[in-house]
Amino acid sequence: MTTPPHVSVRDLRKQYGDFAAVDGVSFDIQPGETFALLGPNGAGKSTTIEILEGYRDRTSGEASVLGVDPQRGGLEWKARLGIVLQSTGESGNVTVREQLAHFAGFYPNPRDVDEVIAAVGLTEKAKSRIKSLSGGQRRRVDVALGVIGRPELLFLDEPTTGFDPEARREFWELIRSLKREGTTILLTTHYLDEAAQLGDRAGVIAGGRLIEIGTIDEIGGADARTPVVRWRDQNGLQEERTTEPASLVAGLFAATGTEPDGLEVRRPSLEDVYLALVAAHTTEETTLEQLERSL
């Protein structure tokens, strides 16, 4: 018997009037895996994650989270989830410790309150009212509340928006420790480095469609990672994609006998691959629309 996936989504759709916010998305997340959902703002990331959290009802398709349809998830199902929402503006009239101790009481097998506070780096703020904290510190309280119940599956919706680089690195460390404990994680982000740092696999969503899915090194296919050689000659900037950049550069030198101007050899980063994917998708959409209009 194989272990069933913790999250399984088939042909998921969410329609608002004529607008399809999510338009036929399918993916699985295996137990212990960290899956990153990437995409520009308004692409459908949050709608997808909120359907899986049980906050929104889908229009059609199938979804299963920890073996349960999220539209029918009861309290025992919720006790196994951790949810970090996109943004909150609660009044925060309680201290960090009071809030965590209170929420810990909701769960059958919670983590130790002080350990969680330490893990998110708020030990010194444990006795401060939440409303007196900075935006980044409040976000850490959100994350602490998401993990206090020792979830099997953790949803993180743009968890590090508004973090400074150091806080982001500390946060990644925290997520890695949760991964080591075997927590399954679904993360949405528009920071590519975050997906690369934390994700085992990633899906790219644009216009409500999953346009790419795979391990972080595979996304966009091998071709998208073909190195690019750039240099300048009398005709201006030249660019060539080749799997043998060293030979190309040697050939250039042999032909002219001088150092080529502005020589650069680059392997496309995840960000380049991602931007190319999203750009290609947008062009395709536009072309289709133009085609439809001309008919």
Amino acid at 223: D
Cβ atoms of residues 202 and 195 within 8 Å: yes
Rule CB under 8 A: say whether 55 interacts with other proteins.
yes
Contact between 77 and other proteins (CB under 8 A)? yes
In the block, residue with structure tokens 């401060």? 128
Measured from the Cβ of residue 37, the count of other Cβ atoms closer than 10 Å reads 27
Question: What is the DSSP code (8-state) at residue 162?
Answer: T
Q: Where are the alpha helices (DSSP H) in 181-269?
A: 192-198, 245-256
Q: Least Å distance between CB 99 and other proteins?
A: 9
Residue type, 32: G
Name the residue nearer to other proteins (CB basis): 91 or 294. 91
Considering the complex, what minimum distance in angstroms separates the CB of residue 281 from other proteins? Answer: 26
Cα separation, 283 vs 234, whole angstroms: 32
The token pair that represents 27 in the structure block: 């993916």
Stretch that binds other proteins, among 48-56, 170-178, 219-227, 253-261 (CB under 8 A): 48-56
Q: At what angle do helices 96-104 and 135-147 cross, to 10 degrees?
A: 20
Question: 20, 40, 97, 107: which one contacts other proteins (CB under 8 A)?
Answer: 107
From residue 122 to residue 141, what is the string marking binding to other proteins with x (rule CB under 8 A)? Answer: -------x------------
Q: In this structure, is the dihedral angle defined by the CA atoms of residues 197, 43, 24 and 224, taken in order, positive or negative? A: negative
Among 7, 83, 113, 178, binds other proteins (CB under 8 A): 83
* Two structure tokens written together for 177: 């420790």
Q: From the list 24, 28, 94, 179, which residue makes contact with other proteins (rule: CB under 8 A)?
A: 94
Residue with smaller CB distance to other proteins, 184 or 197 = 184
**Residue 83 CA from chain centroid, whole number:** 14
Structure tokens at 273: 């691959």
Binder to other proteins among 46, 48, 52, 78 (CB under 8 A)?
Answer: 78
Closer to other proteins by CB, 68 or 228: give it. 68
Q: Which stretch binds other proteins (CB under 8 A): 22-30, 67-75, 253-261, 262-270?
A: 67-75
Residues 6+ apart with CB under 8 A from 118: none
Q: How many CB atoms lie within 10 A of CB 179?
A: 17
Write out the binding residues for other proteins, residues 265-284 only, by CB under 8 A.
none
* 26 binds other proteins per the rule CB under 8 A: no
Residues 145-174 that bind other proteins (CB under 8 A): 145, 149, 152
Contact positions toward other proteins, by CB under 8 A?
Answer: 1-2, 4, 8, 16, 53-57, 64, 66-68, 75-81, 83, 85, 87-91, 93-94, 98, 102-103, 105-109, 129, 145, 149, 152
